[in-house]
Amino acid sequence: MNTMFIALNQQTGGEGGSIQFLLMMVLIFVVMYFFMIRPQQKRQKEMVKFRDSLEKGMKVMTAGGIYGTVKEVGDIYVVLEVDNNVNIKIDKAMIMKDPATAPVSKK
């Protein structure tokens, strides 16, 4: 039984296989970080910056898809006018940029 294990160990390269596996896992994590995690963190920072810069009169959209104009900005809430004399109070975390007012990029 021991001779069979030694023969299999010599055929697979011994410890070389586990080092290659470890390097492959590290490489996968690095690729995931640069293509998934880092861009998401950048978008989150931009959204926090946008929400902190909200001012009266800005056109915004809620996470639920409601478009409106900012009428009042509080610490944790925003009052939006969605129609003439129709105001709703929304949590500041649910406010996004209005895609209609975003600059159009030409490719």
What are the pLDDT tens digits along the chain (107 aa)? 555 445 445 555 555 678 999 999 999 999 999 899 999 999 999 999 999 999 999 999 999 999 999 999 999 999 999 999 999 999 999 998 877 776 655 55
Residues 6+ apart with CB under 8 A from 93: 51
Of 64, 59, 72, 69, residue with least CA distance to 99: 59
Q: Please give the pLDDT value at position 99.
A: 76
Residues 6+ apart with CB under 8 A from 51: 92, 93, 95
Burial 50-77, CB ≥16 within 10 A → b, else e:
ebeeeeeebebbbeeeeebebeebeeee
Dist CA 101 CA 24 (whole Å) = 44
